[in-house]
Amino acid sequence: MFRRILRLATSVAMLCLVACFDDNPSDASVVSPESSGTSVVSGESSSSVAESSSGDAGGSAANVASSSNENVAATSSSVIADSSSSAKAPKNTAACMWKGTDEYGPVNTGLDPNNDYGAGFWYNFGDSFKGGKSFIEFPINDDDQLNEWENIVRLIGECGGYCGAFVLDRGSANEAYAGFGFNVAGVEDPVKSNPIDGVRDGDISDWGGVCVTYAADKDVYLELKADSANLYEIKLDKSIDMVEKCITWNELNVVEASKHARSIRLKMKSTEKITGHLSVFAIGKYDANGACEIDGHAEVLPKDNGPAAAYEGIIVLRSSSSGQCTEPKEVSEMWNGFAPPLTTVETGLDNGTETSGYWFSFGDDMSGVGSVKLPQPLGIEYPTGDEIYDYCMGACGEFEFAKEGYLGIGFHVAGVVDPLDGNSPAAKANISSWGGLCVTYASDTDLEVILAYTQEGGFGNLSRMPKMTLPKSIKLKTVCADWEKFMSVYSEVSWTFMTSVLFVVHGDANAKSRFNIRGLGKYSEKTNFCSPGDDPFVSGKLGLVIK
């Protein structure tokens, strides 16, 4: 049997629950950043600076409306502590101020113990007064028989948190944005005022920072608003998986401003027309190990889920105890890293040369974009599968970029035309019967799945081929996508003459990205997959460079 690892180089209608408008401009000046801050590295341990919040939750909600005209005072690009990757240290659950799974009550900031000022109640805001046309859609219709907070409770019950679809359109504004948040100390008159009028200052410096548990398919910006108009913000990277990010006041440059804070908010923004989805599942005071324990996982609702097609993309919380999850190995019949030994991807379409399904690595050209490191030495020319794959129970390794470009791994669906020719093109195959792909993977960065169809001279231009994007996930994640999700530029592309399946990362110079393809299978409509608990990466043990 031909057992050589192939090596290629290529050129490569929901209703808006509440009003979403900004209508209170301000002329306040911008405050200078207070400090540059130091990044909190994921996994570092420290003593908690958070205290248990006091006071009972309850009371009536303030009117939900829009935000004032703000100036962003400071932006930080520092690395944010991710409590999900901490080394098994227990979370400081006493620092958790709000969880969507509790369904009732505002964020318990501790600054409104008698619920006189509407502190902690969620409200929405947008860009309309600046000429923008952005708004937020919610997966429930507003019930006129209920007050605003009762409708918000319905929303939280539906999503397991505060969730929505952000439809961003800047109109005549310079930038589109929309978001939601809460006032830390409430407003002077919660009956007559909306959440942006008469906002009270509150000293939250003793929190030390804030922890946010969320999931989003676009980048999110966490803001602290102080005084009448000054905003301090930091970017939270998109993550389809539920993740808790903990940020110190120092990182946010608000050590002094936190003593007279007004609101904490999350928003999406863009200069282009886009739709994004954000769900906030918990809010806590800062702790390096995290503040809120939540039982469950985030799930992206598929098309036509619920009473309206617009539910598609909404991210909801699914409890680990609610319903039977599907083991990823059940949709990994072609490449099952849960049952080694592994040798090749079982495509079922080999052309008779027994060369299909062997993994290879590649770059986007021959000019030194970078290299792919594998966890074990290749050994002899025809290595056995367990020498390479069984170490991480998958096709795993690390992409190292010397300069900007593409690196990836892949396999030929039918093999090569002539196995005795080292430059033989890949054979064509009809993969239409698969219906799509299910992939169980982990990756430090977004991973593109590309269906290659070029037979001669490598793969050609990767941007012209059918593809879909798997969002980055440091935990093993299973995604199933039908062929319709693989958007193609050219309509004549057919699933009947594909040659290869590629997993590609675009990186900047000196960047590194770990990956693991644990499972592959034909398309399945299943969505609720169990989450394997093992580490998918091979930290510090990647050895040989494939050139």
Quick one: 350 and 496 in the same domain?
yes
For 394-424, what is each residue's pLDDT tens digit? 888 889 999 998 899 999 999 988 888 877 8
- Look at residue 31 and tell me whether its pLDDT is greater than 70: no
- Give the pair of three-digit tokens for residue 210: 């804030």
Q: Of the residues 283, 318, 353, which one is the last residue of a structural domain?
A: 318
What confidence category does residue 500 fall into, taking pLDDT thresholds of 50, 70 and 90? very high
Greater confidence (429 vs 76) lies with: 429
Q: Residue 153 falls within a domain, yes or no?
A: yes
Residue 505 lies in a domain: yes
Q: Which of 131-145, 287-301, 442-456 has the highest mean pLDDT?
A: 287-301
Among 186, 184, 174, smallest CA distance to 270 is for 174
Q: Is residue 376 part of a domain?
A: yes
pLDDT of residue 217: 92
Same domain? 276 vs 336: no
Contacts of residue 442, defined as CB under 8 A and 6 or more positions apart, other chains included, come to: 473, 474, 475, 476, 477, 514, 515, 516, 518, 536, 537
Residues 314 and 335 in one domain: no
Q: Which carries the bigger pLDDT value, residue 48 or residue 486?
A: 486
- Whether residues 176 and 127 share a domain: the answer is yes
For 207, list phi and psi in degrees, rounded to 5: -65, -30
Q: Which of 60-69, 117-126, 216-225 has the lowest mean pLDDT?
A: 60-69
Backbone angles phi, psi at 435, to 5 degrees: 80, -15
| 25 part of a folded domain | no
In a domain, 80, yes or no: yes
DSSP state for residue 129 in the 8-state scheme: G
Task: Pick the last residue of a domain from 318, 346, 370.
Answer: 318
Q: Is residue 61 part of a domain?
A: no
**Residue 6 banded pLDDT, cuts 50, 70, 90:** very low
Beta carbons of 176 and 111 less than 8 angstroms apart: no
Residue type, 116: D
Same domain, 355 and 261: no
Going by C-beta distance under 8 Å and a sequence separation of 6 or more, which residues neighbour residue 269?
168, 175, 176, 177, 221
What is the rounded average pLDDT of the residues 149-175? 87
Maximum average pLDDT range among 60-64, 305-309, 502-506: 502-506
Q: 233 or 539: whose pLDDT is higher?
A: 233
Domain of residue 353, CATH code: 2.60.120
Radius of gyration of the chain (CA): 25
For residue 297, give the H/E element and its range.
Answer: strand 297-300
- Predicted local confidence at residue 103, as pLDDT: 61
Let me know if residue 485 belongs to a domain: yes
**420 shares its domain with 495:** yes
**How many angstroms separate the first and last alpha carbons of the chain?**
24
**pLDDT greater than 80 at residue 547:** no
pLDDT tens-digit map of 76-111: 333 344 554 434 578 999 999 999 887 667 899 999
Q: How many domains does the chain have?
A: 2
Say if residue 279 is in the same domain as residue 384.
no
Return left, alpha or beta for 485; rule: phi > 0 is left, psi -120 to 50 is alpha, else beta: alpha
Distance, in Å, from the CA atom of 217 to the CA atom of 84, rounded to the nearest integer, reads 18
Q: Is the residue at 6 inside a domain? A: no
State the pairing for strand pair 71-76/230-236. Answer: parallel
Please choose, from the candidates 50, 187, 210, the residue with its C-alpha nearest in 3D space to the C-alpha of residue 115: 187
Helix, strand, coil: what percent of the chain each, to 5?
10, 35, 55
Q: Which domain holds residue 107?
A: 71-318
Nearest Cα neighbor of 511 from 366, 416, 429, 403 is: 403
Strand intervals (E) in 57-153 = 71-76, 81-82, 96-99, 122-126, 135-137
From 271, 291, 318, the end of a domain falls on 318
Same domain as 206, residue 344: no
Pair (246, 357) in one structural domain: no
476 φ/ψ sector (left φ>0, alpha ψ -120 to 50, else beta): beta
Q: Are residues 167 and 249 in the same domain?
A: yes
pLDDT of residue 287: 96
User: Any bridge partners for residue 267, and if so which?
Assistant: 179, 221
pLDDT of residue 204: 97
**Per-residue pLDDT tens digits for 157-169:** 888 899 999 999 9
Please check the confidence at residue 70 and state whether its pLDDT lies above 90: no
pLDDT tens digits along 346-378: 999 999 999 999 888 887 655 688 888 877 544
Cβ contact 487:468 at 8 Å: yes
CA distance 56 to 53: 10
* Separation CA 423–CA 8 (nearest Å): 9
- Say if residue 414 is in the same domain as residue 297: no
Calculate the average pLDDT of the chain: 75
Using CA atoms, how far apart are residues 369 and 488, in angstroms rounded to an integer?
25
Q: Are residues 393 and 336 in the same domain?
A: yes
Average pLDDT over residues 282-291: 96
Do residues 454 and 460 make contact, with C-beta atoms less than 8 angstroms apart?
yes
